[in-house]
Amino acid sequence: MTKDEIRAEVLDILTDIAPDEDLSSLDDSQSFREQMELDSMDFLDIVMELRKRHRIQIPEDDYVNLASMDSTVAYLEPMMKDM
């Protein structure tokens, strides 16, 4: 997957988790939590959805890499390059 495809996939997951959020003005460099009303369970839902859709295992120590869109795409790109 390309960076744009990964970004689109993460946006799709965010739309499912937070359907009332306006993601059109999402700043890719800022934390999801600063821009959206996500709690820790919502964040875990993102991780679980990535696992379900793409069989990606994300260790708990790596959750910090999923803080923003930029960091999430950068973290997932090597794992999803052959998908």
Superfamily of domain 3-20+28-80: ACP-like (1.10.1200.10)
User: pTM of this prediction?
Assistant: 0.91
Average per-residue pLDDT for the chain: 94
Nearest alpha-carbon partner for 47 in 27, 37, 35, 61: 61
Domain ranges of the chain: 3-20+28-80
Q: What is the pLDDT of residue 64?
A: 94
Write out pLDDT tens, residues 42-69: 999 999 999 999 999 999 999 999 999 9
Count of CB atoms situated within 10 Å of the CB of 68: 19
Roughly what angle, to the nearest 10 degrees, separates helices 3-17 and 40-54? Answer: 130
